[in-house]
Every structure is written in C-alpha cells, then in structure tokens.
Amino acid sequence: MALPHDLPVVDHHCHLSPTGDGIEAARRFEKAGGTHLFLATQQYGEHPPSSVGEYEGQFEATDAIARGVEQATGVRVYRVVAPYPVDLITLAPRLGLAEARRVIEGALELAGRWVREGRAVALGEVGRPHFAMEQALRDASEELFRRALEVATDVGCPAVVHCEDLDAAGYQAMADLASRVGFPVHRLVKHYARSWIPPEERAGIVPSFLASRDLSARVLLDNGPWLWETDYLDDPKRPGAVLDLATIPRRAAQVAASGSAALEALRIPFETAIRSVYGFTPAVDDRRRPSGRP
Ligand SMILES: [Zn+2]
C-alpha cells in the first residue's frame, strides 16, 4: 500500500543551514514523500547573536531558507523561532549576565511578534540547557524559560522545549511550571524525546519523538498525541551525527506498506497531534503533490 495522496508527511523539527545541504536536503525529503517541515531557527555564524538586532538577522536567515525551500520544492515550511536556550551560557561571560538576559528577553519578545504577524507558528527552541551549570546561570535560565512561556501565552502559540530527557517526574515538573504561568500544557512540546514514556505519564505534554528505528517502532503503537522529528542539523562537519531529513517519509512509506491499520497510526503525528498542538492541519495541495505519489 502506498502513502495516500491526501496524507501529509511531516518532520516536526529540523534545522537547515545556508552553508549546509539546505534546499538539497529538502529535495531529498520531498523525493521520499515528505510534504511539510517545521523549521527551527539556529545559530548560523560562529557565535550566537549578541543583540536583539542580530537575533532578528538570524530569524530572517531562517525565513529566507524557508522561502528558498518553498520556491524550489512543493514542501510547505512552518517557521519556529526563539533564542536558543544554550545561548545564555556563551553570552553571559561576553556581555555580563544582566545584559545577556536583557538581550535574550528582547529576542523572546521579537519571536512573539513573529508569531503575532503570522511569520512563525511557535516559539522554539525554548527551555534550558541540557547539561549542568553554575547556580546563577541555572536560575537565569529558569527565569528566561518562564518568560518564554509567558510570551507564548500572550501570543497564543505552542512552545517547543529543549531540555534534558524527561522521565514521568520530569514531565510532571514541566507541566507544573507551565501551569504556574498559565500556559496551556497541551501546547507544550518536548522536542527530541528519546525515550518512550506512556501517555498517562506525560502530564499532558506532547513529546516529539526522535525518528530512530527502535523508538519509532514503539511510538507507532502509541495512541498519542505525539509528534515525530529528525532534528536534522544540516551540518556538513557532522555528517551522520543525526538522522537524515529523508528519514520520516521513508519510515512512513514502510509503515504504509505494512497495512491499513498501521497507516492509521501515521495520522497521529501528521494530522491529529499537529491539530491539537498548533490548531491547524497540514493540508496536501494537489497541485504541488510531491513526485512519486499516486
Ligand atoms: Zn533542534
């Protein structure tokens, strides 16, 4: 059984770089049957931005790559922008902690404006560094994470979280944090989820599972909501460090080949979970149907 032509095939988290494969990677994704990408911004230069203006330049670079992909392929690209949580660690020694916080807070507000103007669909990645650090930085990270959730609450968008791998207690703690600032937990996405946790232990947070072979086999039996991602890094210096952008459409095609019940499971990460988190369903435009589809 082939992939039905009305089924969107979505990678929920990737990065593309102007100095990497960029549009070529998107072509591989499309050729394998992919239709929609959630493209997260990233640091493109040697250092993270050190002013709100430089963050704006970074977001514009992400937007330019997204437009390039949409012009060269039939793939639709959703932009996700925010200052990367680890940036604080590099910025604090350079600017001083107070100024680093001021810059990042300004960049969070800028990201909120992008959502309000319809240029981005979510704030991401927000959260905290996934490694241990000194107390002052940890406290500042937590405050900026809360601020990010406040901005996302104000503009009414999802938040895509970068943090350590979470167990049931970790999911609960994060849900509590969101509730304290009034952020709707069902719009909180744990990006780069590497371990399967039963739905009832996720405290309402939506995991975006890494599309590795073993984890995918498990999560395809999960009733959701859950999302699926490669976290493709598009870094030519680290080939093979992450899953290729063609991974999700290839896995989806294998699933579809195994029968109609399995095929229904794909509607969770490609349609229903996206609708419950983002409030829209990716639609496959017939005129721009990727090659290789019936
Ligand atoms: Zn990422």
CA distances from 234 to 79, 114, 123, 227, 237 (A): 16, 24, 21, 20, 9
At residue 292, the pLDDT reads 47
At residue 136, the pLDDT reads 94
Ligand 1 mean position, distance from CA 84 (Å)? 9
**pLDDT of residue 288 exceeding 70:** no
Domain assignment of residue 1, yes or no: no
Domain assignment of residue 36, yes or no: yes
d(CA 156, CA 34): 28
Ligand 1 mean position, distance from CA 149 (Å)? 18
Domain assignment of residue 96, yes or no: yes
Encode pLDDT of 95-110 as tens digits.
999 999 999 999 999 9
Asked if residues 161 and 187 have their Cβ atoms less than 8 Å apart, the reply is no
Give the amino acid at 125.
E
Domain assignment of residue 294, yes or no: no
Ligand 1 mean position, distance from CA 39 (Å)? 9
Ligand 1 mean position, distance from CA 1 (Å)? 32
> What sign results for the dihedral spanned by CA atoms 174, 180, 186, 187?
negative
Domain assignment of residue 35, yes or no: yes
**pLDDT of residue 193 exceeding 50:** yes
Encode pLDDT of 216-266 as tens digits.
999 999 999 999 999 999 887 776 667 999 999 999 999 999 887 788 999
Ligand 1 mean position, distance from CA 260 (Å)? 32
pLDDT level of residue 180 (50, 70, 90 thresholds): very high
Q: Are strands 159-162 and 122-127 parallel, antiparallel or unpaired?
A: parallel
At residue 294, the pLDDT reads 46
Domain assignment of residue 282, yes or no: yes
Domain of residue 81, residue span:
10-287
Domain assignment of residue 167, yes or no: yes
d(CA 215, CA 227): 12
Please state, rounded to an integer, the average pLDDT across all residues of the chain. 93
Return the SS3 of 187: helix
Q: How many domains does the chain have?
A: 1
Ligand 1 mean position, distance from CA 113 (Å)? 21
- When pLDDT is averaged across residues 154-174 and rounded to a whole number, the result is 97
User: CATH no. for residue 187?
Assistant: 3.20.20.140
- When pLDDT is averaged across residues 264-280 and rounded to a whole number, the result is 97
Ligand 1 mean position, distance from CA 42 (Å)? 8
pLDDT level of residue 198 (50, 70, 90 thresholds): very high
Asked if residues 136 and 96 have their Cβ atoms less than 8 Å apart, the reply is no
Domain assignment of residue 147, yes or no: yes
